[in-house]
Amino acid sequence: MGTSTDIPALRRGLAVLQLMATRAGPVSASTIARELDIPRSTTYHLLAELEQARFVTRLPAERRYGLGIAAFELGSAYLRHDPLERVAGPLLRELAGRVGHNAHLGVLHGSELLYLIKERPARPETLVTDVGVRLPAQLTASGRAILAHLPAAHVRALFPSAAAFVRRTDRGPTSLAALRTILAVERRRGWASEDGHVTAGFASVAYPAFDHDHRPIAAISVTLRHHCEQIPCAADWSGLAAQVRSTADDLTRRIGGRVSWRSE
């Protein structure tokens, strides 16, 4: 049996894996130590243990570390069990039928938004979003709904330079400062939206689902046909946002999470 002193080491080891999972490629030990604010000697010890357990792979030529095969196997097991999708599926089907628009469940994958579920209403509309599709998180309502509740340092790490701000249309933030401004507005408002940032002629409204520590783990969104010449769009989607938020809060409760005080 482990002792109570093993718990901090376990938490730090998991923090290392979580940090590595947000990066597009291998990272150095110094970066991990700096980002997690832990001693470099401790960082090397954690990496050695994770390497031995095959959760981390050391790349000597690059002096960096990447996720190992055990991390991949764990992720594959999640996809097989898909608890989030199993719980969210019926909720999204009900939401899509109620509002008459496509409903999605998405999760953050690095600086991208990965769509796990897409539910269509009786008369579906053709969209670029589909299960398995990844889109720049800063352009999607779902991505920004999650980003708005992440620490500023985390957002900065995901978008370190102008090159990270990919655009699909002529709309969307092109800098970290612009993204932070949008996130601040959407965080105060309580829900995220985009109009033509992903596909011209379509808009989306999204709200996050939270875990037991009130950390955003996914987002539910609804996408509809819409085009607004004004930037930012002046359309009132508060009614639709309330429907999306209700579904997201229901998902949060069903997975044992803690809903926002705004919804309680």
pLDDT at site 37? 92
Quote the pTM value.
0.68
Q: Do the Cβ atoms of 167 and 174 come closer than 8 Å?
A: yes
pLDDT at site 230? 67
pLDDT at site 1? 43
* Number of neighbouring beta carbons within 10 Å of residue 197: 25
What residues are paired with 66 via a beta bridge? 57
- Over the chain (264 residues), the average pLDDT of each successive run of 10 is 64 91 86 93 94 90 85 62 80 94 90 88 66 86 94 87 84 90 94 86 92 88 82 80 96 86 48
Residue entry with tokens 């999470």 = 257
pLDDT at site 117? 86
pLDDT at site 122? 74
Q: Do the Cβ atoms of 223 and 192 come closer than 8 Å?
A: no
